[in-house]
Amino acid sequence: MITEKQKMMTGELYQDSDPELVAERLAAQRLVDEFNATRAADVITELFGSIGEGSWVMPRFQCDYGYQIHLGSNSFLNYDAILMDCATITIGNDVSIGPRAQLLTALHPIEDHEARRRRFESAAPITIGDNVWLGGGVIVCAGVTIGENSVIGAGSVVTRDIPPRVLAVGNPCKVIREL
């Protein structure tokens, strides 16, 4: 039998109220609370799937599970980051993420209101390439890839993939020019 966690990990519809997932979120929340209270780097190392040398995360930080977050080397998450890691979030090397950024992998059924009512959801991964800068308040939606050396302007809502070496801004986020 396929578990709700296995469904989550493969991008299928799953129920987030599953006891295993609830327990994992509670365990992650304990570590998040400890990190936010202490700024202890070893807590992030325990929480994240992987974290590269020289990277750091400012408090207040929030996530669902933690183990699906992979942060490259020399990367930075500023204050109040929210990373909903129901699917893998891969952040490259030398990435700077501004305050109050949100990386949101969760998806909810649009056409099937009954599935929504029963708390089914799915998820799609987010990938951020090397040397990307996300300005403050940027929201990156499920399934999006941002190419290396790109800059996303503050307050942008990224709903589609962004190619490498561009400046993109707005809601929805659009490429303004090449870099």
CB 159 within 8 A of CB 177: no
How many residues are present in the chain? Answer: 179
Residue 70 is among the residues annotated as catalytic for this protein: no
Q: Which of 25, 60, 108, 165 is catalytic?
A: 108
The Cα–Cα gap between 145 and 37 comes to 32
Which residues does the annotation mark as catalytic?
A: 108
